[in-house]
């Protein structure tokens, strides 16, 4: 359930509880008022008023509550009923003025519903009763038993009215404040619950993250050692194939040996990709001074894929400008360049007069900008972002695992750098890499 819904449910449950409790309270008060009326009838012989008015009031209240249980109209009725009981008692006691206090008792009882508007019917009936009966008595009508006080002037009426208004206002204000206070309490409880739940979720997430990291590390170690171990038999196989090539073979055998050799090389390339991938995620970023000239010479001598045997040799041109020392992770930069140069060799354009790849490096105090440009087959616009995806190959004829550029991108990101590709089919590709100079150890 979304939090807002949960909050609303909590709020509704709370309102239902208040309503239920207050309704029960009203039963007790209304029955007590009715019994009080009956007891007063014993002394003042006002049975008709006690039973008649009392039971009509109860009937009005309970029938509304019964027929309209969903609405709160019956709460407004009970408010008016309290005022009527007050008038009834005043009348029954032949104008005992102090019976006005019953209205104030009713006003206080109504606070329990936490709705200030419930004060309105009570106040209205009291005012109308007070004004009408007071006036009637004032003009000399003596059958109404309004008050035993022997004075009732406009000034007295205004004072009574003002005092009653203050009481109704205070009770209304309390009802309102109680409601606000409780709503704030629900909100706080809700926030607290949500906070606790969030903390719990964070803890669970942290735990499962740690477990995931642990099992990822184990998996990585396993992949690394398996890949590593697989390369040894491949090297022996390549050795045996080499020996076979030295002997005299019939053309079919020669073809098979060549095929076997290229398959072994392909498999070796896959394994190297997996090893690079595993190394990149497993090892922390190292920091040493990079001499690009030496590094590129190393890479050129150790390229991952040397290309198919029927491919032409690619001219590797380098241009390095580094006036300042550049620090970064040497083996990771090796992985990046090895993959990019190998691709330029493999995806050479048969149409081009002479295939070449140009590696240029410009080092500044803050960064190294590396460009690997070739005149190969190029990559169309649609595939230019996809080639960085894991296992993505532009066509089924692509010679590789589809992991190379993914590893390049991951490695560049690990070194906090950025990579960009520009390419035109039939003309060539250019990979631009921006790597920060880690001259100062990263904090
Ligand atoms: P693969 O191991 O298949 O070469 P990569 O991730 O290195 O995988 O490259 C993904 C795809 O991008 C390749 O299949 C190839 O089609 C294309 N590609 C990569 N480098 C070049 C390039 N220099 N020139 C043309 N196409 C390239």
Question: For the packed helices 330-346 and 251-282, what is the interaxial angle rounded to 10 degrees?
Answer: 150
Name which residue leads in pLDDT, 279 or 192.
Answer: 192
Q: Which are the contacts of 13, defined by CB distance < 8 A and separation ≥ 6?
A: none
CA distance 60 to 52: 12
Query: Is pLDDT above 60 for 386?
Result: yes
DSSP 284: P
CA of 263 to the centre of ligand 1 (A): 18
CA of 275 to the centre of ligand 1 (A): 18
E strands along 356-425, which residues?
A: 356-363, 367-374, 418-424
- Look over the chain and give the mean of its residue pLDDT values, rounded to a whole number: 88
User: Does residue 398 line the site of ligand 1, with CB under 6 A?
Assistant: yes
- Structure tokens belonging to residue 346: 């493999």
Tell the residue nearest (CA) to atom 20 of ligand 1. Answer: 343
- CA gyration radius, the chain: 47
With beta carbons less than 8 A apart as the criterion, state whether 49 and 42 touch: no
Spatial CA neighbour of 431 closest among 357, 334, 365, 325: 357
pTM score of the predicted model: 0.56
Confidence of residue 441 (pLDDT cuts 50, 70, 90): low
CA distance 378 to 373: 10
Q: Which residue pairs, CB below 8 angstroms and at least 24 apart, start in 19-23?
A: 19/72, 19/113, 21/112, 22/75, 22/112, 22/113, 23/65
Give 208-243 pLDDT, tens digit per residue.
Answer: 999 988 888 888 888 888 888 888 888 888 888 888
The Cα angle at residue 121 between residues 117 and 123, in degrees rounded to 5:
95
Q: Which are the contacts of 418, defined by CB distance < 8 A and separation ≥ 6?
A: 412, 433, 434
3-class state of residue 423 by DSSP: strand
Query: Is pLDDT above 80 for 1?
Result: no
Confidence of residue 146 (pLDDT cuts 50, 70, 90): low
User: Does residue 407 line the site of ligand 1, with CB under 6 A?
Assistant: no
Mutation pick for ligand 1 pocket among 314, 342, 382, 405 (CB with most ligand atoms within 8 Å): 405
Residue 218: burial class (beta carbons within 10 Å; 0-12, 13-18, 19+): exposed
With beta carbons less than 8 A apart as the criterion, state whether 426 and 360 touch: no
3-state secondary structure string, 110-170?
HHHHCCHHHHHHHHHHHHHHHHHHHHHHHCCCCCCCCCCCCCCCHHHHHHHHHHHHHHHHH
Give 301-330 pLDDT, tens digit per residue.
Answer: 877 555 555 677 888 899 999 889 999 999
What is the model's pLDDT at position 280?
83
With beta carbons less than 8 A apart as the criterion, state whether 431 and 357 touch: no
Share of residues in the chain with pLDDT > 70 (%)? 94
Mutation pick for ligand 1 pocket among 373, 386, 387, 407 (CB with most ligand atoms within 8 Å): 387
Q: Which residue has the tokens 């449910």?
A: 9
Backbone angles phi, psi at 328, to 5 degrees: -170, -165
Question: For the packed helices 292-301 and 330-346, what is the interaxial angle rounded to 10 degrees?
Answer: 50
Confidence of residue 5 (pLDDT cuts 50, 70, 90): confident
Give 156-206 pLDDT, tens digit per residue.
Answer: 778 888 898 999 999 999 999 999 998 898 889 888 988 999 999 999 999
H/E element holding 45?
Answer: none
Could you tell me which residues are beta bridge partners of residue 432?
371, 420
Pairing of strands 356-363, 327-328: unpaired
Q: Which residue has the tokens 């104008």?
A: 95
Q: How many residues does the chain have?
A: 443
């Amino acid at each position: 359930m979304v939090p807002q819904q949960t909050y609303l449910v909590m709020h509704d449950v709370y309102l239902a509880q208040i309503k239920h409790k207050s309704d029960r309270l009203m039963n007790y008060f209304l029955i007590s008022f009715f019994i009080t009326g009956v007891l007063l009838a014993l002394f003042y012989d006002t049975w008709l008023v006690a039973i008649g008015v009392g039971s009509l009031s109860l009937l009005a209240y309970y029938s509304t509550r019964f027929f309209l249980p969903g609405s709160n109209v019956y709460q407004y009725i009970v408010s008016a009923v309290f005022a009527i009981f007050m008038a009834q008692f005043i009348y029954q006691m032949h104008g005992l003025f102090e019976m006005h206090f019953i209205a104030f008792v009713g006003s206080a009882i109504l606070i329990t519903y936490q709705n200030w508007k419930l004060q309105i019917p009570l106040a209205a009936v009291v005012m109308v009763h007070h004004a009408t009966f007071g006036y009637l008595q004032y003009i000399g009508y003596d059958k109404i038993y309004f008050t035993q006080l022997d004075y009732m002037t406009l000034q007295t009426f205004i004072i009574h009215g003002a005092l009653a208004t203050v009481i109704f206002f205070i009770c209304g204000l309390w009802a309102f404040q109680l409601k606000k206070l409780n709503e704030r309490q629900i909100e706080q409880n809700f926030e607290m619950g949500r906070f606790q739940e969030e903390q719990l979720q964070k803890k669970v997430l942290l735990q499962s993250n740690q477990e995931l990291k642990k099992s990822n590390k184990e998996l990585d170690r396993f992949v690394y050692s398996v890949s590593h171990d697989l390369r040894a038999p491949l090297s022996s196989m390549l050795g045996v194939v080499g020996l076979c090539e030295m002997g005299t073979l019939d053309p079919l055998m020669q073809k098979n040996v060549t095929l076997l050799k290229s398959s072994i090389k392909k498999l070796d390339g896959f394994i190297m990709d997996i090893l690079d991938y595993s190394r990149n995620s497993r090892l922390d970023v190292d920091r040493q001074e990079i001499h690009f000239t030496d590094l590129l010479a190393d890479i050129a001598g150790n390229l991952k894929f040397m290309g198919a045997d029927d491919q032409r040799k690619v001219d590797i041109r380098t241009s390095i400008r580094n006036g300042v020392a550049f620090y970064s992770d040497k083996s990771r930069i090796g992985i990046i360049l090895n993959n990019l140069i190998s691709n330029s060799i493999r995806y050479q354009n048969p149409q081009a007069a002479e295939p070449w790849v140009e590696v240029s490096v410009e080092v500044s105090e803050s960064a190294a900008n590396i460009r690997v440009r070739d005149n190969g087959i190029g990559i169309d616009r649609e595939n230019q972002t996809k080639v960085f995806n894991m296992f993505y190959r532009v066509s089924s004829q692509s010679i590789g695992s589809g992991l190379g550029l993914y590893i390049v991108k991951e490695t560049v990101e690990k070194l906090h750098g950025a990579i960009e590709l520009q390419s035109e089919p039939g003309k060539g590709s250019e990979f631009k890499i921006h790597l920060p100079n880690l001259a100062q150890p990263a904090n």
